[in-house]
Amino acid sequence: MDYEAVIGMEVHVEINSKSKVFCSCPTDFHAPPNTNVCPICLGMPGALPVLNRDMVNKSIAVGLALGCKISRWSKMDRKNYFYPDLAKNYQISQYDLPLCDNGALEIEVDGGSKRIGITRAHMEEDTARNTHALGGGQSGIDFNRSGVPLLEIVTEPDIRSAREAHAYLTALKQILQYLDVSDCNMEEGSLRAEANISLRPKGHAEFGVKTEVKNVASFSGVQKAIEFEIARQEQVLRSGGVIIQETRGWDADRGITFSQRKKESAHDYRYFPEPDLPPIVVDDAWEQRIRHQLPELPMARKQRLEAQYGLSGYDAHVITLSRNFADYYEKVVASGADPKKAANWLTVELQALLSEAKAEITACRVAPDALAALLKLIDTGEINGKIAKEVLAEMFTSGQSPDSIVQEKGLNQISDTGAIEDAVKQVIGASPNQVAQYKEGKEKVFGYFVGQVMKATQGKGNPQLVNEILRRELGR
């Protein structure tokens, strides 16, 4: 019997509003502990919440980007439970009437595409952070994070594999970043993903018992945790055991999930409508206003780049992974660069530099028009591709223009036939063995000669001329 995995995802996204969801405190939680706090986010007696409109706007934008229906009438609710990081001992969230529901996200996986249903997206507040590292058995609570706006996005149980889960998270993050509503930094907790996983015999409609995997710090971690959990559940089932409904943590070092909390101890949250906040009424005009402000979304942009610039699906995919990256690309092309060459240089060379420096494209010192200028130097034969890579590296660190780097360092390509002829003759004269091999028909040795000539010209030889002259001088 084959098993099939049934997976649903719950993602908490911190929305990047300037102020918290129910008060005017800044959302910057890097500040010293308990400095971005006020009576409201501390849950002081008598304090009242007021819903941040920017949070609602951004949540509507996410809902629309995910194809959700935006509720004309929704409300906030109180979710009651006791924990020291919860200032009021209830969390203001949305229960039965979320702001957004019934959407879908198209993901690409294994060369095909798949539609993942979005059950709902609802607004809520984040909790404070407990620390137990104060010494002396003391615990501390930092309320800077208390009241930071969160959007919880819940999928249908449409995901069937760890790879699909990874693709879903990637696509979701991409959309959130395009909308500029969150920095989606998983390590800092601004994006938190939980997976509900169950197995069922293939072909069965009924769901199996699920486990929930929490507290994973990266997308690849989520993928590994799901893979592990599927294998674990399958082993349990095959050996005649039963799956226990529970929450499981992920131990990244050992690569295993482990039991955290059994369902029996789950809370009765005693949800009821938040009397301190009026209902959220979104009329057509409000929804339309947000819809008109939506940027071009990743899937649409990818398709446009393919059509407009003749890019491969792969290149268009890589370029549109981030909105900033795609913006950068289009600026390079707008500065006169050949679209395909620009794509190649951007996704390979510049990306490598960025990755090495762990830098974002927005912080890149190479301006889009400077990259276009560099590509032009290659086109006109001013420098060759190999030199161009060095120039790019220099541009990346110094921010100088390609022209001034080429001038200063004398990197102009040697297209002087005489100089190349001299170098070729010198190399041939110094390599009798290789010449003999070449004459015996070992074509491979030709590469050796090219390398030697380029070395002799400090890499500046015009590759075409070097080839031509070598062939001629080697007598074939």
Partner 1 sequence: MTLDWHWKSAREIRDAVQSGAVSALDVTEAYLRRIDAVEDKVDAYTQRWNDTARSMATKVDEKVRRGETAGPLAGVPVALKELLCTRTGKTTCASKMLENFRSPYDATVVRRLEEADAVFLGKVNMDEFAMGSSTENSAIKPTRNPWNLRCVPGGSSGGSAAAVSAGECALSLGSDTGGSIRQPACLCGCVGIKPTYGRVSRYGLVAFASSLDQVGPLTRTVEDAALTLNVICGRDAMDATSADLPVPDFTAALTGDIRGLRIGLPKEYFTDALSDQMREKIEAAIEVFRDHGATIVDVSLPCSEYAIAVYYIICTAEASANLARFDGVRYGFRHPEAKTMQEMYVMSKSAAFGPEVRRRIMLGTYVLSSGYYDAYYLKAQKVRRLIKKDFDAAFEQCDVIAGPTSPTPSFEFGAKSDNPLEMYLSDIYTISVNLATLPGMSVPCGLTEAGLPVGLQLMARPFEEETLLRAAHFYEQNRGFDMGRPPVA
| Contacts with Zn ion, residue ranges (CB under 5 A) | 23, 25, 38, 40-41
Kindly tell me which of 40 and 179 has the beta carbon lying closer to Zn ion.
40
Tell me the pairing of strands 140-142 and 100-109: unpaired
Q: Which of 50, 244, 307, 430 binds partner 1 (CB under 8 A)?
A: 50
CA–CA separation, 68 and 165 (whole Å): 20
DSSP codes of every residue in 49-107: ----HHHHHHHHHHHHHTTPEEPSEE--EEEE---TTSTTSEEEE--SS-SEEEEEEEE
* Partner interacting with residue 123 (select from partner 1, Zn ion, none; CB below 5-8 Å by kind): none
Would you call 260 helix, strand, or coil by DSSP? strand
Residues in 240-279 that interact with partner 1 by CB under 8 A = 268, 270-272, 275-278
Chain Cα centroid distance, residue 237: 35
Q: Of 44 and 357, which has the nearer Cβ to partner 1?
A: 44
Count how many Cα atoms sit within 13 Å of the Cα of residue 342 in the half-sphere of its side chain.
Answer: 28
SS3 444: coil
Residue 39 binds to partner 1 (criterion: CB under 8 A)? yes
* Cα radius of gyration rounded to whole Å, the chain: 29
Size of the site for partner 1 (CB under 8 A): 28
Q: Which contacts qualify for 227-233: CB closer than 8 Å, 24 or more apart?
A: 227/162, 228/255, 228/256, 228/257, 229/195, 229/197, 229/257, 230/5, 230/161, 230/162, 230/197, 230/199, 232/257, 233/3, 233/197, 233/198, 233/199, 233/208
Q: How far is the CB of 32 from partner 1 (least distance, A)?
A: 18
Q: Which does 41 bind (CB under 5 to 8 A by kind): Zn ion, partner 1, none?
A: Zn ion
Instruction: Among 100, 141, 319, 370, indicate the residue that binds partner 1 (CB under 8 A).
Output: 141
Of 82 and 418, which CB lies nearer to partner 1 in the complex structure?
A: 82
Residue 302 makes contact with partner 1 by CB under 8 A: no
Residue selected from 49, 98, 208, 298 as contacting partner 1 according to rule CB under 8 A? 49
Q: Smallest distance from the beta carbon of 264 to partner 1, in angstroms?
A: 14
Which among Zn ion, partner 1, none contacts residue 25 (Cβ within 5 to 8 A by kind)? Zn ion
> Which of 9, 21, 41, 42 is the binder for partner 1 (CB under 8 A)?
42
Which position among 3, 4, 47, 104 is part of the footprint of partner 1 (CB under 8 A)?
47
Stretch that binds partner 1, among 85-93, 222-230, 251-259, 460-468 (CB under 8 A): 85-93
One-character DSSP codes across 101-166: EEEEEEEEETTEEEEEEEEEEEEEE---EEE--SSTT--EEEGGGTT-EEEEEEE-S-B-SHHHHH
E strand intervals along 263-407: 272-273, 280-281
Least separation in angstroms between residue 275's CB and partner 1 is 4
Q: 3-state class of 190 per DSSP?
A: coil
With CB cut-offs between 5 and 8 Å by kind, which of Zn ion, partner 1, none does residue 171 bind?
A: none
What part of residues 88-127 is at the interface with partner 1 (CB under 8 A)? 88-90
Say whether residue 84 binds partner 1 (CB under 8 A). Answer: yes
Partner from partner 1, Zn ion, none binding residue 357, C-beta < 5-8 Å depending on class: none
Q: Which residues bind partner 1 (CB under 8 A)?
A: 39, 42-51, 78, 80, 82, 84, 87-90, 141, 268, 270-272, 275-278
